[in-house]
Structure 1
């Protein structure tokens, strides 16, 4: 019972805040315009401030674990390839394949994974999560561009130059790169600057969760239930079982196992819809998979945490 309470206490508060956002969105207390503007605020200001502080305060040399990072990248490749292979046989509509594949491997780690990891491990700065944000998240963009360009109805080819530019100008990546000299050289920010960034960073998690809830649209997953179910189950059930479970016998630390589990078990990323739509894919199908994966993860995440707690992993 104690383990179940721990798992629920780690995850339920996150989904409760999302539920508040959903209520506010459904009753138009938070309008679409506000959600869009607030999302930009979090994406361009609050979240980069939090990441900058986390990296600058940490010792990046100690955070960097080549084996752990390589494992996550290889597993991400495997999850991507597996989803694509299965979709070729399962999804008969060629225009829908890219949306299902994109939703099945790309998780919402920044907005959901980080607060859940912090809740489970009981601290704000977690070195292994910095590795995910620094290396895995940009890799998501590479894989997404490949599959979306392959199925692009306009026939446009992959623009590696544009993709590299998008990665390097991503506010999260910019914040991490800007913070690296402070981390590597042990430079401390002036207290005024650190406190200002701290105020912004503290806003990122609750605001992001409210905005995710406000952006949920249940009507978006009407029809095409098999494809939607496959994408959601593959994301929040299959990938954590296949890639996170074996880690406890491979010598990884508790922190790394928790981070990997959460990375694979979180629902599909909200920007799956934006990127898929922008590149000519079926954005509405992506939005449907995002919604269902969120509903499923409200069950699978607490269960996974309960199992890890019961087995003594955490």
Structure 2
């Protein structure tokens, strides 16, 4: 239990620090959008590229992890589709529920995995992101545009422009080609990677909007239960049935137990979804995840 708390409390301390820095308007409102862009387009891709370029990519456990991650994501989306048919949600809200149930905060996930499993765990998580990020983007766009058929451009553009996906693909290609990171490149990537997760977590805190929590308690709690309880339970059951090794099983459960990412708000607003509800979903899930992630990580001790 102490290892779990040791890994989690610094992560959530940075999120809380980011929120209070934003409230105090330090270092200024102009800082946060720029910091988020710097991290999203430069620092975080460097972390993903470096870890994937150094990882063993041919293990059977990695293939099983990727397959189970895709399966869990598809199962979750099928459950949401059934609910949408029953409740007849419009796209503006269905897209919010889909992202609230399936989208995950990569900064938070990699920070926890790195604290618990180090570089080998980060490499496994980065490889899983290569598979999950494109799929969750497609599901999100399809849901937000429910009621009219999304264009190919709407589906493909968020994927081909996503720097995280591009960095993962480039890292995997460098790994498989046998490319050596010499002449100080490895040192540079390590330094960029070291700054990414702390800055990302501060930005997560700065993006929280507690005022949006007023009203709509029922959909907020339902989405939180789906994301923070049901989806990790599906992931744990799949890992147990497949006999996944303990580290891979833990990483799978962690990523399906993560709260929704702040980037969901941007996509929701861009495609005309209910952005206020999306902000409330992100804020509530991030707050609750401090407790639910602790419970899931502790329960993993009894997994094997």
- Could you tell me the TM-score, scaled by structure 2's length? 0.93
2 CA distance for matches of 1:239 and 1:312? Answer: 16
Alignment of structure 1 residues 137-176 onto 2, 5 Å? 137-151=133-147, 155=148, 157-176=149-168
2 CA distance for matches of 1:224 and 1:188? Answer: 53
Structure 1 residues 226 and 162, CA, compared in 2 at 3 Å: closer, same or farther? closer
1 CA distance for matches of 2:22 and 2:290? Answer: 19
2 CA distance for matches of 1:168 and 1:64? Answer: 28
2 CA distance for matches of 1:227 and 1:93? Answer: 14
Q: Which residue of 2 aligns with 1:282?
A: 274
Following TM superposition, by how much is the alpha carbon of 1:57 offset from its aligned partner in structure 2, in angstroms? 1.4
2 CA distance for matches of 1:254 and 1:22? Answer: 34
Residues 68 and 238 in structure 2, CA contact (< 8 A), matched pair in contact too = no
Structure 1 residues 64 and 249, CA, compared in 2 at 3 Å: closer, same or farther? closer
Residues 48 and 171 in structure 1, CA contact (< 8 A), matched pair in contact too = yes
Q: Which residue of 2 aligns with 1:272?
A: 264
Structure 1 residues 75 and 200, CA, compared in 2 at 3 Å: closer, same or farther? same
Q: Which residue of 2 aligns with 1:114?
A: 110
Structure 1 residues 251 and 158, CA, compared in 2 at 3 Å: closer, same or farther? same
Following TM superposition, by how much is the alpha carbon of 1:94 offset from its aligned partner in structure 2, in angstroms? 6.4
Q: Which residue of 2 aligns with 1:216?
A: 208
Alignment of structure 1 residues 36-115 onto 2, 5 Å? 36-62=33-59, 65-89=62-86, 95-108=92-105, 110-115=106-111
Alignment coverage as a number of residue pairs: 304
**Alignment deviations for residues 107-144 of structure 1 (CA, whole Å, 9 cap, x no partner):** 11x21111111122244653421222111111111111
2 CA distance for matches of 1:95 and 1:169? Answer: 23
**Alignment deviations for residues 246-292 of structure 1 (CA, whole Å, 9 cap, x no partner):** 41342101121111111110001111111111111101101101111
Q: Which residue of 2 aligns with 1:207?
A: 199
**5+ unaligned residues in a row in structure 1: which ranges?**
none
Structure 2 residue 181 is matched with structure 1 residue 184: no
Residues 87 and 100 in structure 1, CA contact (< 8 A), matched pair in contact too = no
Residues 63 and 128 in structure 1, CA contact (< 8 A), matched pair in contact too = no
1 CA distance for matches of 2:187 and 2:38? Answer: 18
Structure 1 residues 77 and 193, CA, compared in 2 at 3 Å: closer, same or farther? same
- Once the two structures are overlaid, the 10-residue window that deviates more, 271-280 or 4-13, is 4-13
Following TM superposition, by how much is the alpha carbon of 1:189 offset from its aligned partner in structure 2, in angstroms? 1.4
2 CA distance for matches of 1:92 and 1:80? Answer: 14
1 CA distance for matches of 2:2 and 2:33? Answer: 35
Structure 2 residue 129 is matched with structure 1 residue 133: yes
Following TM superposition, by how much is the alpha carbon of 1:307 offset from its aligned partner in structure 2, in angstroms? 1.6
- Could you tell me the TM-score, scaled by structure 1's length? 0.90
Structure 1 residues 97 and 162, CA, compared in 2 at 3 Å: closer, same or farther? closer
Following TM superposition, by how much is the alpha carbon of 1:78 offset from its aligned partner in structure 2, in angstroms? 1.0
Residues 87 and 97 in structure 1, CA contact (< 8 A), matched pair in contact too = yes
2 CA distance for matches of 1:255 and 1:143? Answer: 28
Structure 1 residues 257 and 285, CA, compared in 2 at 3 Å: closer, same or farther? same
Structure 1 residues 76 and 300, CA, compared in 2 at 3 Å: closer, same or farther? same
1 CA distance for matches of 2:295 and 2:212? Answer: 27
